[in-house]
Amino acid sequence: MKIRAKLEAAGGHPLRRIGVAPHSFRAVTPQLLKELLNSIPASDPVHIHVAEQTREVDESLASGGRRPVETLLDFADGKRVFCAIHATHMTEAETQRLARSGVIAGLCPMTEANLGDGIFPARRFLAEGGSFAIGTDSQINVSAADDLRQLEYSQRLRDLERNVLADGPGRSTGRRLFDAALTGGARALAQACGFDRYDALLTAFAQARAAVAAAWKPILGPDILATEQENPV
């Protein structure tokens, strides 16, 4: 809370938001998460890693008898922004509940593919009205377009179809995914969802990417293989 107070006092970019990101229910018990939520404003977004790999789900069942997404949904009362990072391995019931709960699914398609995590059930999730955002996670790639492409391609490989996530015949898959990721991403950051803020969001993204490049490229650049040429990490 001292760190939070200092960040608030420092001011900064009008698009900046303060939030918390407990890593997973393997490290943070439901009781600890409850105490954390009680200590921060309801306006703070909460991002939490859940169900990225089957091992994590198995460990959660073994230790507490519940699956990670089930546990998260206990806290999703609609009063606070939650972003479930990964949420790769869910039952059909969990997928439906997560989609209808208002929790944003924070997907990292390139990283999840690189690690062999599995395939997020995007088709069912979107059909149930779910919202998603995309992120980079391990920074294997920092291209929003590549992440959205990987999300669609993963569904095609699983379902043996094309244009799986297009919103009906003759509709653009890319347009739907871009608009959905922009809206869900804004919500995940507790930002206004209107497209009138699109330019400001892109400016903030460009500034963040430039900062990463300036900080890391001289150190890591020579040692990183098989990534895009301009990828600083």
Cα(114)–Cα(142) distance, integer angstroms: 13
The identity of residue 137, as a single letter, is D
Cα(201)–Cα(14) distance, integer angstroms: 11
* Catalytic, out of 49, 86, 117, 147: 86
Give the per-residue pLDDT at 208.
59
Look at residue 39 and tell me whether its pLDDT is greater than 50.
Answer: yes
Give the per-residue pLDDT at 232.
43
Compute how many other C-beta atoms are within 10 angstroms of the C-beta atom of residue 196.
7
Question: Is residue 137 annotated as part of the catalytic site, yes or no?
Answer: yes
Cα(162)–Cα(177) distance, integer angstroms: 14
> pLDDT tens for residues 63-105?
989 999 999 999 999 999 999 999 999 999 999 999 999 999 9
CB 198 within 8 A of CB 191: no
Q: Using DSSP, how many helices (H) and how many strands (E) does the chain show?
A: 10, 4
Residue in the structure block whose two tokens are 């347009």 = 175
Compute how many other C-beta atoms are within 10 angstroms of the C-beta atom of residue 32.
12
The arithmetic mean of pLDDT across residues 54-67, rounded, is 94
Which of 73-82, 99-108, 118-127, 167-176 bottoms out in mean pLDDT, i.e. has the lowest? 167-176
Which of 33-37, 38-42, 86-90, 135-139 bottoms out in mean pLDDT, i.e. has the lowest? 135-139
Select the more confidently predicted residue: 45 or 167: 45
Question: Strand pairing partners for 129?
Answer: none
Structure confidence at residue 158 as a pLDDT band (50, 70, 90): very high
Percent of the chain with pLDDT over 90: 64
Look at residue 202 and tell me whether its pLDDT is greater than 70.
Answer: no
* Catalytic, out of 47, 49, 89, 137: 137
Measured between alpha carbons, how far is residue 84 from residues 101, 205, 210 in Å?
Answer: 11, 21, 27
CB 30 within 8 A of CB 66: no
CA torsion 19-69-71-43 (nearest 10°) is 20
The identity of residue 200, as a single letter, is A
* Strands ordered across the beta sheet of 82-86: 46-50, 82-86, 104-107, 131-134
Question: Is residue 86 annotated as part of the catalytic site, yes or no?
Answer: yes
The arithmetic mean of pLDDT across residues 22-45, rounded, is 93
Give the per-residue pLDDT at 212.
54
CB 79 within 8 A of CB 55: no
Tokens describing residue 177: 């995914």
Q: Which helix (H) or strand (E) holds 217?
A: helix 198-220
